[in-house]
Each structure stands twice: as structure tokens, then as C-alpha cells.
Amino acid sequence: MQLTSKIYINLLIFTISQARVLKYDYTDGCQLSEQIKNEIASYKDVKDQILDYVIDGEFKGKTYEELAKFVDKFGARPSGSKVLERSIDYMIELTKSEGLDDITTEELTVPHWVRGKEKVTMLEPLYKNLAVLGLGRSVSTPPEGITAEVIVVKDFDELEKVDESYIRGKIVLYDPIFTTYGDTVLYRTNGASRAASKGAVASLVRSITPFSINSPHTGSQTYDEGVPKIPTAAITLEDADLVRRMYDRGEKIVLNVKLSSKYNEKTSRNTLIDLKGSEQPKKLVIVSGHIDSWDVGQGAMDDGGGMFVSWAAPVILKRLNLTPKRTIRTIFWTAEELGLIGAKAYEEKHRNESSNINFIMESDEGTFAPLGLAVGGSQEARCIVGEILKLFESINATELIEEDNPGSDISVITETGVPGASLYNANERYFWFHHTEGDMMNVESPEELDLGAAFWTAVAYIVADLSVDIPRQVQN
């Protein structure tokens, strides 16, 4: 999951709007006809068929096994890399081997930021190497690094209060304590430019996570126009807190920061797999995840799992000979991590046909045990999806969370008024592993992936097969 500034704002709004959700139950306003309720209830058998096949039947363990084979073969798949393109080719072949051959790729230009050697060393008051990960698009330091004193601030307010003359020539360390991702990630994404505008020569951020075993977290950041681009990186909670304690004791802290990287542009592809609808093939229910990852770990959680449950949907339906009325389109977004690049290109290219999208789904916040969906769109859309979710009581996946523009990639489409949902799952530990070397297969579980794939497939099928479209928000 990557978040652009725009999305942060959505996230913030979402965070604030939680209070509203607690007071307000969307079901209060639901006035679904008995006819549609009965129709939805009639999908119980096909839902059971899908769940049985995936959780206890022939597909049991398949999603985990295929995800493991994939990430073990390719490892990390950064935007613009050759390995990402090879992994796209592999997924196309894997899909074809399942008898699904309505596959399209759409080319686009993507950023290619390549991490070089990175080292942060504390020189005073103690000699110590700090675990570090440079942030996406960070510029390099000179080869000998930048050696400077550190100033620690917990937030932008604190930064603003410090006189420029005191910051000039120093390294700024932001050490916000993790509350929500939306609240604290700002120091990762905007910290460098904010520090540079006050004269800092480099910036560091306490990794955006609630928990650590000295594990640094990378992630994207963007430079503001008209401000010097300074090198920027994340250090661990442990080391940030060490620096903070020293700072609060009045000790002088001197670091040497060495970062190197290269940046250029390459061509990559979004991948579209269609399971054509039997009655309204132009109408789309999209299920999606991103195929690129950060350059650390295996990208098994972010977003290998999300991509694979979306891959599983048409595969499972094909194997079960279930063809819904509308087309189910699986999309593997490319270059999500550096700013939803693939999703933006898709939205632009398909803007004229966006009325064809009946519903768009994304899994990019973990594939732990599914709990339900975070749904955006009209009240009626939520009422219909909520009614569908009632079918998933046997696997405890009935919860509907209201979100204005759910998802990360799909938010560029849902914010245009297309109804959509992201997978709501038991992801309390998601940010422990997010963007770290620990994003590997150990985070995933075969049983949870089976539940996720079964749920995802059944929901997509039902939405794509209903006699009615998911109603759109009336645009103001």
C-alpha cells in the first residue's frame, strides 16, 4: 500500500469520519425490496459451492502455494525493474495455464528508483551503526556522506517553532509516535522538503510502524518544487528513540549519513484478465491488487497476497464453470508503490468507459482472515453490498465499514463516483511488516489466504451476476 498526498487526506477524513460511523448505521436507511433481498439470499448455494471448493476442496492451499512459488521465484519486484516485467510475464502464463486467455496488457511509463549502498553511523556521543532504509526518490549524499549534528522534532509544529539558524546545516530527525498510518506517514512523505525549507541538509524519520525488532521501513516520499532536494531515510523505532533520549539529555548527536540511489523511467504494464460476462460483457466488476512491491523482502503481503486473491477469482470461477452476467476483470496494477502510477494510467485511458464499471474491488491492506469489506459509494450501494455480506456469516466476514474512497490504487477511480470496496481483514499486525525485509511468506497463512480467496471470489461473482447494477452516487 502506498499513499499519495491526496489519499492521505482521504485517510484523514476517514479517520475523522469514524466517529460518524459509530453514531450512524448505514442500515438505518436501507430500503431494499424483498425481491432484491430474496435474490441475494438465493446465492447461498453458489456461495457455498465456492467456499467449499476453496476452503475444503480441490483449491485448498492453492492460493498460498502459488503465491509462494511466485514470490520465491522473483522476490521483490520494484517499479521499473526487469524482475517486475518478468513476474508479469509469469503471471500471464500462469493465468493462461488455467484456460483464461482474455488477457490484455497496457503499457505505461513508470519511475525506476534503485537503492544503492546505505549506511548511517552515529559518531557522537557513541559510535554505532544504525539500521536504515532510504526513502523512495531520495537523492544520494556525496560518497563520503553527510556528517552533521542532529535536531529531533516530534512533528511539523515543533519544526516550525525552531529558528532557521538553528536548523541550518543540521540533520532533522522526525520521531512521531505511531498512532494511525495516515497521521504519521506525513513525516515520511513530506519530511524532507519541510526540513529542507528550513535549511536542513538531510532528514530522517522514525519508521512508520507501531512495532519493531530493529526493522527499518521504507516507503515513498516526494520533494516539493522550489525546495532543495535533500537525502532522506527511515531509521528504526529503537534507534530513533535512542537518539531522542540522548537529545533530551542535552547530548550532542553527530551522524554520518551515506545514501546512494539512481533514478530514471522505464516502461511497465498493467495486466487485465477478463472472464467475460454471459449477458452484459461490457459491464465490469473489477478485482485487483498490485504486482510491484518495494525492493525489500518478497512483497508477499504488500501486495502479493492481494494480487493472488484477485487472480484466484476468475480462476476459481472458470474451474467451477460459473459465468456471471457481467464480466469479471482482474487487474494487476503496476508501480503502485511510487504513487499509484498504474492505476492513474488506467483511469486516464479508460475514463470514457468508466460508466461500464459496476463495482471495483481491491485487496492491498493484507490478506489476513477476511472480516468483510470497506465500501465506498452511495447509500444504496452499501445496502446491497451489506445484504450480500450477510451470506458470509459462516466465515465471519459480514462486516461493512463505510469509507469515502476505499483502497489505494482504486481510490483514483472510486473518487470519480464509481462504487467500490477494499478487503477488510484482521490486519492488526499489517504495519509491523509493511515495507520491511520482513514482508515475506511467513506473514501469510494458507488458511487465511483460502478464506480470502473464497470470500473475494464469491463476492465478485454475486455482484457481477445480480439482476441490478450497483447504484452510483448522485454526483453534485
Which residues bind to a second copy, rule: CB under 8 A? 68-69, 72-73, 75, 125-126, 128, 131, 212-215, 237-239, 241-242, 245-246, 249, 297-298, 432-433, 436-438, 440-442
DSSP secondary structure code for residue 63 in this structure: H
Pick the catalytic residue: 65, 118, 265, 336?
A: 336
Distance, CA of 212 to CA of 214 (rounded, Å):
5
Q: Please say which residue, 64 or 461, places its beta carbon nearer to a second copy.
A: 64
To the query of whether residue 336 is one of the catalytic residues in this protein, the response is yes
Residue 316 DSSP SS3: helix
Task: Using alpha carbons, select from 86, 78, 75, 74 the residue that is nearest to residue 112.
Answer: 78
Rounded to a whole number of angstroms, the minimum distance from the CB of residue 63 to a second copy is: 15
| CB closer to a second copy, 215 vs 221 | 215
Q: What residues contact 476, with CB distance under 8 A and at least 6 apart?
A: none
Give the gyration radius of the chain's Cα atoms. Answer: 23
443 neighbors 68 (Cβ within 8 angstroms): no
Q: What is the DSSP string of 393-448?
A: GGGT--EEEE-SS-SSTTHHHHTTT--EEEEEE--TTHHHHTTSTT-SGGG--HHH
Torsion 94-97-102-105 (CA) sign: positive
The three-state secondary structure class of 108 is strand
For residue 43, give the amino acid letter.
Answer: Y
| Residue 368 or 433 with smaller CB distance to a second copy | 433
Pairing of strands 103-124, 171-174: unpaired
The pairing of strands 128-130 and 103-124 is: antiparallel
Supply the DSSP symbol for 138.
P
Nearest to 440 by CA among 293, 228, 327: 293
List active site positions.
336
